[in-house]
Amino acid sequence: MSTARIAICSQKGGVGKTTLALNLGLALAQLGHRTVVVELDPQESLAASLLQPGGSVVGLHQVLRGTATVGEALLKTKIPGLELLGVGEVDPMTSWDFHAIVSQPGVLPRTLNEIGDDALILMDCPSGLAGATLGALGAATHAMIPIQAEPLSMRSVERVLNVMARIRENQNPALALAGIVLMMFDRDVDASLEVVRTAWRDLDPEVLFEAIVPRNPVYLEASLHGVPVGFMAPGMHPEGRRFQMLATELLGRLAREEEGHAGPVQTLL
């Protein structure tokens, strides 16, 4: 059973971090891994997707402030093995303080320890490379970088990697890259296609995940219904299977790391 703490982060907003966290979390749980999705974005995108209006206001923020325990804040879902630690109520006027607390070295790792050693933790970070994102990278074993398949998003990846390298050097030597995921790919748009071609050509196959998430209206519909995309059709919507592929790739990488190497997979023939 794999355990890892994965920060899902990007400098650019709107690239699909929350979509990735939610749907990958579901896929990992369906593959039999206890998975906890931790929301670090005070905008509460994840909780807003999943909870009924007026749902829980107790979450990570309250845990960090000492007014709730992790046990009280951790929400079980209908999917066995999938749990959610929402950000909780964050007063917009004091969200600066939330970022300040989360980014203090040692604070978030201590909280995540209370979730237990048997879980895969996915941290859904806010956009940007400051505040809670720095806290997540300081607490993570891995970072996963979703990038929108368009030029501006691709250009911001180097900054994320530079910040990762500095955090690894100065604060968290356990931090490594799990990989880069191409999101919102539109095969009918030349620029999008060119980004994907360039990424395939220039990035190491062990860095770039093979699973690509396309632009598809079903993601908006899933968001409207407050469910993972796989729930949008009986059995499983085809888009849900993409995340199962991604989850399988991720688990393969984690397993190979445990075996002692993080290099490319050997070919079968």
Instruction: For residue 32, count other CB atoms closer than 10 A to its CB.
Output: 11
Minimum distance between the CB of residue 56 and another protein, rounded to whole angstroms? 18
Which token pair is 217? 């209206």
CA-to-CA distance for 178 and 176, rounded, in angstroms? 6
Looking at residue 138, the DSSP 8-state letter turns out to be H
Q: Which stretch binds another protein (CB under 8 A): 22-30, 73-81, 97-105, 241-249?
A: 97-105
Site for another protein, residues 209 to 238, rule: CB under 8 A: none
# residues near another protein by CB under 8 A = 81
Minimum distance between the CB of residue 225 and another protein, rounded to whole angstroms? 21
Binding flags for another protein, 236-255, as an x/- string (CB under 8 A): -----------------x--
Minimum distance between the CB of residue 269 and another protein, rounded to whole angstroms? 24
Question: Could you tell me if 2 and 33 are in contact, meaning their C-beta atoms sit under 8 angstroms apart?
Answer: yes
Binding flags for another protein, 66-85, as an x/- string (CB under 8 A): x-------------------
Question: Could you tell me if 161 and 125 are in contact, meaning their C-beta atoms sit under 8 angstroms apart?
Answer: no
Site for another protein, residues 128 to 147, rule: CB under 8 A: 128-131, 134, 138-143
Binding flags for another protein, 40-69, as an x/- string (CB under 8 A): --xx--------------------xxx---
Binding flags for another protein, 183-202, as an x/- string (CB under 8 A): -----------xx--xx--x
Q: Which stretch binds another protein (CB under 8 A): 19-27, 155-163, 209-217, 241-249?
A: 155-163
Q: Bridge-partner residues for 147, per DSSP? A: 182
Q: Is 162 in the site for another protein (CB under 8 A)?
A: yes
Q: Is 177 in the site for another protein (CB under 8 A)?
A: yes
Q: Bridge-partner residues for 82, per DSSP? A: 35
Minimum distance between the CB of residue 229 and another protein, rounded to whole angstroms? 23
Length of the chain: 269
CA-to-CA distance for 11 and 9, rounded, in angstroms? 7
Minimum distance between the CB of residue 78 and another protein, rounded to whole angstroms? 28
CA-to-CA distance for 137 and 125, rounded, in angstroms? 9
Minimum distance between the CB of residue 118 and another protein, rounded to whole angstroms? 14
Q: Is 206 in the site for another protein (CB under 8 A)?
A: yes
Instruction: For residue 128, count other CB atoms closer than 10 A to its CB.
Output: 15
Question: Could you tell me if 239 and 22 are in contact, meaning their C-beta atoms sit under 8 angstroms apart?
Answer: no
Compute the half-sphere exposure of residue 25: CA atoms within 13 Å on the CB side of its CA.
34
Minimum distance between the CB of residue 167 and another protein, rounded to whole angstroms? 8
Given 3-state DSSP classes, what are the helix, strand and coil percentages for the chain, each rounded to the nearest 5?
Answer: 45, 15, 40
